[in-house]
Structure 1
Amino acid sequence: MHLKPRPLRSRARPDIPLRMSKQIQLASRPNTPVVLWIVALTCLPEVVLTILGTDLLGQTDLRRLALIYMGFWNGLLGDLTGVYPLQREVMFISYAFLHSGFLHLIGNMIAVLGLGGIVVARIGERGFLLLYALCTLGGAAGFALLSTSTGPMIGASGAVFGLIGAWKFWEWQARRAANAPMRPLWMSLVGLTLLNLILWVALSGLLAWEAHLGGFIIGVLFAAIVTPSMRHRI
């Protein structure tokens, strides 16, 4: 069976790249100050805990105290009492600045550096900060609603998955605008889901997938509301 090719349009939309088939290349502004500051502030606690926790300085209980003061504890939303005023509220943000070690930290910060440029290019530095903060809150909310864990939850993964959610929404926008195939997008989301499942098994159920899901949903919703079309910016 032979099909007639469609005639080429005389004018192309200026905001859509012409070579969008399988790969969608969104604009990026890497290494902007706001992204670097977020990464630096997130790395600071781990650097301090690692240095002070050495045998030479003998502050071996410091990490345990950091978990108590900065971790997200589901119990504080119930009967437990915080060790300082407003801990119940502060933990919705503070947990994202604490990690279980350098591997955990590096993995998250590489993602922030990679995705931060895409977010800044689309919605600016203030938009990045707002998205990052809301997805951090969304990660905590997802963990609070879906997890039955009695231990602390830490890490910037909720914010990272929020950035991923916004990125994937913008990719969906670009593919739809360019009539590009959606299959690569859906396959990347399936791969992301499988990665979470593999990590959850490898970590014996200690992966806070609830925070990942909460952050991702907020990221998608934020992008859909603030940038409903390819031409929208903030």
Structure 2
Amino acid sequence: MNERHPVSQRLPVLAWASAHYALLLIFLVCVLIEGVLQGADFGLWGSPRWRGLTYQYAGFWRGLLDNWQPNYAAQPVVMFGSYGFLHGGAGHLLVNMITLISLGRLVIERVGQLRFAVIYALSLLGGAVGFAFLSTAVQPMVGASGALFGLAGVLTGWEYTARRLAREGIGPVLRVLVLLTLLNLIMYWAMGGNLAWETHLGGFLAGWLAGWWVRESNHHP
């Protein structure tokens, strides 16, 4: 038997979705891509080769900035954004999407959807630049972590600015920086060195810098 819910119970969900559609779009694209690849991995459709081919065409390959031959002419440019919508499995996706919702909504509530999208894009690009300059890996880099560390960076930067203007101590900001550093060290150890910390650093710095340009506003476009 179908259960009917009052309109008043449904509207808050719709209102939240309407106020966070930029975040939800990123979420849905990431989930859809990984869902298709998961199904292919388990033989539900397509071919198990789909994941490897997807990484081959859309992952970030450091070698393409040197003398590697791209699969298509625009790949060395496209990969600076496409890598952020791919993930290394369901666990990787789950952690990143929880972080996306948690941090993304905080940024949207402070600057609105358009500015959130700008910050996210700049952080995604910053993560790729960090990996390009600091990494020597021959494996592809995938994941939204660069952009997510960018969201952490802009929130931390805003907190730093607010405290300096209020002439308050920056102890809480320093604690966040220490915690993020420890988090990366622990993940680097747990993953046997297969952590793109360069992407995290690049994204965080890009997000912090974006906070100086994308000012806070009470208006939510």
Compared CA separation, residues 232 and 179, structure 1 to 2 (3 A)? farther
For residues 231 and 64 of structure 1, the distance between their equivalents in structure 2, rounded to whole angstroms, comes to 43
How many matched pairs? 204
For residues 124 and 45 of structure 2, the distance between their equivalents in structure 1, rounded to whole angstroms, comes to 33
Question: Equivalent residue for 1:101?
Answer: 89
Tell which structure's C-alpha radius of gyration is larger: 1
Structural mapping, 1:172-211, within 5 Å: 172-211=160-199
For residues 131 and 56 of structure 1, the distance between their equivalents in structure 2, rounded to whole angstroms, comes to 37
C-alpha deviation, 1:184, in angstroms: 2.1
Unaligned runs of 5+ in 1: 1-28
Tell whether the 8 Å contact from 2:34 to 2:90 is kept in structure 1 after alignment.
yes
The Cα RMSD (Å) is 2.0
Compared CA separation, residues 232 and 142, structure 1 to 2 (3 A)? farther
Counterpart among 58, 64, 67 of residue 52 in structure 2 = 64
C-alpha deviation, 1:56, in angstroms: 4.3
The SS at the match of 1:112 is helix
Greater helix share, structure number: 2
Structural mapping, 1:12-161, within 5 Å: 32-57=20-45, 59-161=47-149
Compared CA separation, residues 231 and 91, structure 1 to 2 (3 A)? closer
| Amino acid of the structure 2 residue aligned with 1:33 | Y
Q: Runs of at least 4 residues of structure 1 off by over 6 A?
A: 230-234
Unaligned runs of 5+ in 2: 1-14
C-alpha deviation, 1:58, in angstroms: 6.1
| Amino acid of the structure 1 residue aligned with 2:175 | M
Tell whether the 8 Å contact from 1:143 to 1:211 is kept in structure 2 after alignment.
yes
TM-score by length of 2: 0.86
TM-score by length of 1: 0.81
| Amino acid of the structure 2 residue aligned with 1:86 | A
Tell whether the 8 Å contact from 1:30 to 1:118 is kept in structure 2 after alignment.
no
